Each structure stands twice: as structure tokens, then as C-alpha cells.
Structure 1
Amino acid sequence: MADLQAEIELTVELRKFINIDLFVQGYYQIRTGVKFSPRVQSATKIEVKSELSPVIDDSNDSIYPACVFNDWGVSKTFLIIFKNEEVQLDDQFNFKLSVIIDAQNIVECFNRLDMQLFLELYFLERDYTAEKMPTMQQLCSRCFKLHFDPRFGIHTHVPILFDYFHLSALTTTVHSSLLCLIPPYVFDRPDVRRTSLFSFLFGQDLSQITTDQINPALLERAYNLHNRICEILLSSYQSLQDFYEAMLEHLPDSEEKPIHVHQKCEQKLRSLSEKLQNIDDIHTIDNLAHAHIAQCSAENIMVWCQFIQTFGLSESSAIVLGKEYHLKRVRRLSEGFFQREMSRVNLLTNESYSYNELHELVRNSSYYSCLLPLTIECVELDGVPDTLPIIIEEIYLSDEQKPSKMLPSSVKMKTPSAYNDNPFLQAVQ
């Protein structure tokens, strides 16, 4: 198996903390961290950007600056006294994530990362100092699974509700994108020094290949792998570029929009592939492929830095992403909401058994069990197909009105042809 190192950048912005009804006055802070599946070889580096000066003065003696503690990002530590209190945090944590993936199965490896984002609420009753951070009490933890696709990244704004015993909420913006695919270098591996891009392209080290081993199949392997890596990097660039340009349209007129030159990624991929396929010398292929991949990675880094500089802790992007997340979440919940039109005569009959049968039909259907997850989801807050509620709304009509067939509310506005082909809907009807 040929290994590549994927460089992912994940930015977590802790925007606002809302005290709904915390019982105890004292000092609170939010800690955030990223974990992968234990089987994934990974490394994490955190950078902090906070709006509060690290120098504490008399004007903000109840708020302490953000920092990094034991590979976790720690928000500003703030004093909560009154109910319904809001604290503007505006803490930005940049996670530089390095993971080892199989060069032959890049997308499949990303699907198996099991990337999880943790957000935890900590508390200290009185006399907070930085030295007391290890002794703070953890009150609640929320785990969000990140369904990261290297071609599309993640851009969302999520409201997070902590448990009912510590009734408070947090608004969080998450951005993530694949930046680089390179030979591994940050891991303590015995073969790092002799691992090169050449071994990925041709399946063996340069010193092991003789002239008589060079054949069309070996060259085709190099062409395909080069094309696959460039395609994923350019797809990552394309999705980030599209999102960046869309967010520029939402900037207020009073703000100056940065200059961005749109890049046609599909055209560039064809150009890079054609240049490489016109060469049959393995040394030239190695050098040119290395230059192409390095160029794509560098361009990803540039557009990412430009995006974060423009929209880091941006209120305009948070509003757009918040509405989009809410719409997706409600649409997913609506898959279990049905409307049933009945005659008023049915008010005199007991049909509870029919609802039990319908409940089992929906719950056990392949359609319902295969609902697509949200890009970022928390089981406790968003549920899974086994725990999502199934709701049936009864609409009683007069005797003159003829009841129509029952349909999920999520498809009420679709054309008849859109749901006539759905076997699940036919079964429910």
C-alpha cells in the first residue's frame, strides 16, 4: 500500500455563548478538539486567533483569553452571574490535521476517518487563574461527527444546546477543506526518508526499476494516479472557490470586496493530464507530476488563506450558513412527518392499531433507514433514523369532502410523477 499524507485545515469559530438558565454562578469556558478513528494515523496542530488582548486589565477582569491546553482549543474563560446572559466569544481555532491515506483509495480512506469534533463545557466556581485550568469540572460534552468529503469540504453554522442540567447554548461556525496531498513527513516512520512521489506513481522505488521493466502498464498506472490526485485537489479548490465567490455576494456594500481570479478547474485538469501523457520518460514524469501536485496544493492553500482572511468570524457568512443548516435539519426531520386526511365519522372509532402498523412500516423501510446524514451531526441533538420521531397529523374533513391519500409532508409540493415511482410512498398510501 502506497501512503500519502493529506493536509486538512479545519477552522472552528466559537461565536456566542448564551446562558439560558445555568444554576451556578462562576467561571465557564468551552473546550474544542478533534479526534479520528484509532486506526487512523494522524497528527494535529492548533492555532488560536482571539479578539481579546492577552493582557488582562481592569476593564475585562471577568474574561480571560483563549489558549491551547493539552491539544484542545480553550475559549475565553468568562464569568456568568445572571440568567439570560450572552457572552460574545469570537474565538477562532485553526486545526491543521495530517492523516495518512492510501494513494490508491483516497476517497474511501476519507470515508473511514471517523472525524469527530468535540465541544465541552467546563466550570470553576470562584477564583479562576490559568493554573487552575486542570482542576476545572467538565459539565457537558457534545460530539459532532464530521462527514468530510475531500472534494467539497465543510461549511456550516451550528447552534449547540448543552444538556438540560446545564441549560446553555453556543453558536459555532465550522469551515474545513483539503489543502494538500503529499508524501508523509510529519510522522515518525522508518521509511519516511526514502518515500517519494515516484514510489506512489510507479509502485516501487526509483533504484528498483530497470529499463526493461518500463512498459505501457507501468506508465498507465502513473498517469491514472497523477490524474486522480490532481482531480481531488482541483475539486477541493473548485468547491472552496465557488463557496468563496458566493459569500462575496453577501458582503455589505460598505466593505471592499477582495479581488479573486476565477480558475476553470476542469480545463486545468485536462491540461495537466495531457502534458503528462505526452511524456514516456519516467524521470520526467516524476518531476512533472511532482510539480503539478505541488502547484495544485499551493493554490488550495492560497485560496483557503484568502477565504479565512475575508470570512473568518464573519457575521454575513454565519447568517447565510445558519439558515442553510436550519433548512437542511428541518427537511430531514420532515421525512417522518405525515398528514392523514379522514372523515369526521372516524372520530367515533379507535384506529390506534393502524398507527402502530404505519409506524413500524416507516421505521423499518429501507427509505427511512437510508436517510442521508447532515454534514455535521450530533446524535443527541439530531438523532438517527432509529430515534427520529414519526409524527402523523390527522385532518378531519366534512362528509362532503373526499379524503385524499396520505403523504409525507416533505413531498407535498412535489409533482405526482416525483413520488409515484417511490415504492415506499406507494406502500404508505
Structure 2
Amino acid sequence: MQQIEETLEEMGFLLSLDLHFTDGDYSADDLNALQLISSRTLKLHFNIYRGLHHHVNVMFDYFHLSVVSVTVHASLVALHQPLISFPRPVKTTWLNRNAPAQNRDSVIPTLESVVFGINYTKQLSPDGCSFIIADSFLHHAYHFHYTLCATLLLAFKGLHSYFITVTEEIPSCQKLELEDMDVEARLTELCEEVKKIENPDELAEHINMNFAQLCSLLMALWGQFLEVVTLHEELRLLLAQENHTLRVS
């Protein structure tokens, strides 16, 4: 979990803002008619559990005396293994006989190799009737499952808590019936469920399903949050006051 947290925390999120100018008529379909005269880049300090909720006034430069107010909301809403589709064996035909060999780095890893580790191979049971999972691969799967589930659940908790705080501090905010969740109990339940599964294929699919379900919950909450806070003037003022307090403290 620490490795995933550190990786996400070290990612640099930048927001570029451009100031354009024209002394003639222009249309939204012809933005090339506008002259770029100044740019600013904001570094976003994103936390995977608290998200990012910030308001700041950005001055481009003292010559143009142009200021823009920017409110940024961000939240972790999904974590998943790098899978787009499952690789399939390429059949050699006269159509692709001269095709270049597939680069190993570009091969999409299988679900099993992500869940159990890159060195995972299926092993037959002594009776030859089923597959078994070596303890090292099993521990890798359990740890992988726990880490991603815990990260997603803590992100949900952080966004949910901030959402509640906003609706309590700003009376005019739309009140929604938000689904509350005991994060620790849910994590324990998910981890106990996967330990009951013995079939390798079923275990990998179940772990992947857990990730998908948690991501869906997060994205649904994020959608509700955006509906309530987007372009909300009182929230903008609240965030602006918080930014001012941080600057003078």
C-alpha cells in the first residue's frame, strides 16, 4: 500500500493556463486568431485520500494585469491493473507472416500475472483434476487485493467526509442522502471473501470484480459531488477564505 501511495503522491499534476488576446472579432471555431501573450502553470498538490479542493487567484503578469479565479476539485476515483484486453496467441498466416515480432514491453499482462505476480504459472494438483496456487503467489494476490481495496475505500471515505462537511457548512448546498460506509468493516469483508476461493481463475476474476465495484461506488459519489459543488458561489468563497488563511498563517 505504501508503494502505491508513494507512486501516486509523487506524480506531478500540472494545470496550464493561457492568456490570449485579440483586437478583432473572433469565434470559438477559430481560436487560432487569438494571440497567446502569457501563460502560467499551477502545480496541483493532490492527496489520494483527501483529494484536492482549492481556490486561487492567478495573475498572469504585472504588465497585462490580468487575473483569473480558478477552483480545482480532484479525487481518486479508480485504480485498476493495466488491462485493456487480454492478449491472444497470434496465428501465423500469409497476411501477417512478415509482421514484426511483438515487443515484450508492449504486451498487455494477463489478469493472472497482475494478481499473482509476473512469474505466476498454473500448477496441476497431484490428482491432475484441478489447479493449485503456490503459497507465494497466493500471498501476492491477497496483498495486492488488500492494498488496492484499502486505497479505494480510504479515497471514498475522504471524499464522503469532505462532501458532508461542505453540505453542513454551506446551508444552500443541495442535501443528498449519501451512502455511508464502514470502511474497515467493508475491507475485512472483502478480504475474507477472497480467502474462501480456491480456483485460481475464479480468485483473479473475483479480485478484479471487487476493484470494479469499489471504483463504481467512487465514481458515483464523485458524480454526485460535482452536481452539487460545480460553480457554487458560496463554496468558492469558502475555499477562497481557506486559501487566504493558509497564505497569511
User: In the superposition, relative to structure 1, how do residues 104 and 222 fare at CA in structure 2: closer, same or farther (>3 Å)?
Assistant: farther
Residues 1:168 and 2:168 aligned together: no
Aligned position for 1:243 = 162
Aligned position for 1:124 = 22
Larger RCO: 1 or 2 (CA < 8 Å, sep 6+) = 2
- Report SS of the residue matched to 2:179: coil
Q: CA deviation at 1:219?
A: 0.7
TM-score (norm: length of structure 2): 0.81
In structure 1, runs of 5+ residues without a counterpart are 1-102, 332-429
Q: CA deviation at 1:131?
A: 4.9
Instruction: Give me the whole-angstrom Cα distance separating, in 1, the residues matched to 2:246 and 2:27.
Output: 41
Aligned position for 1:309 = 227
- Report SS of the residue matched to 1:182: coil
* Amino acid across the alignment from 2:34: M
Residues 1:226 and 2:124 aligned together: no
Q: CA deviation at 1:210?
A: 1.8
Query: Identity of paired residues, percent?
Result: 30
2:180 corresponds, among 258, 262, 279, to 262
Aligned position for 1:202 = 116
Instruction: Give me the whole-angstrom Cα distance separating, in 2, the residues matched to 1:185 and 1:123.
Output: 43
Q: CA deviation at 1:184?
A: 3.0
2:135 corresponds, among 216, 228, 231, to 216
- 8 Å CA contact retained: 2:21, 2:34: yes
User: In the superposition, relative to structure 1, how do residues 186 and 293 fare at CA in structure 2: closer, same or farther (>3 Å)?
Assistant: closer
- Report SS of the residue matched to 1:170: strand
RMSD: 2.4
- Report SS of the residue matched to 2:77: strand
- Report SS of the residue matched to 1:258: coil
- 8 Å CA contact retained: 2:15, 2:44: yes
Residues 1:183 and 2:183 aligned together: no
Residues 1:114 and 2:15 aligned together: no
Instruction: Give me the whole-angstrom Cα distance separating, in 2, the residues matched to 1:279 and 1:183.
Output: 20
* Amino acid across the alignment from 1:263: M
- 8 Å CA contact retained: 1:160, 1:171: yes
Q: CA deviation at 1:251?
A: 3.4
- Report SS of the residue matched to 2:79: strand
Instruction: Give me the whole-angstrom Cα distance separating, in 1, the residues matched to 2:8 and 2:75.
Output: 12
In structure 2, runs of 5+ residues without a counterpart are 86-104, 126-131
Instruction: Give me the whole-angstrom Cα distance separating, in 2, the residues matched to 1:330 and 1:281.
Output: 59
Aligned position for 2:204 = 286
- 8 Å CA contact retained: 1:202, 1:222: yes
1:326 corresponds, among 230, 240, 244, to 244
Q: CA deviation at 1:186?
A: 6.3
Instruction: Give me the whole-angstrom Cα distance separating, in 2, the residues matched to 1:115 and 1:230.
Output: 24
TM-score (norm: length of structure 1): 0.48
Instruction: Give me the whole-angstrom Cα distance separating, in 2, the residues matched to 1:256 and 1:121.
Output: 34
- 1:352-391 superposed matches below 5 A: none
- Report SS of the residue matched to 1:145: strand
- Report SS of the residue matched to 2:177: coil
Q: CA deviation at 1:316?
A: 2.1
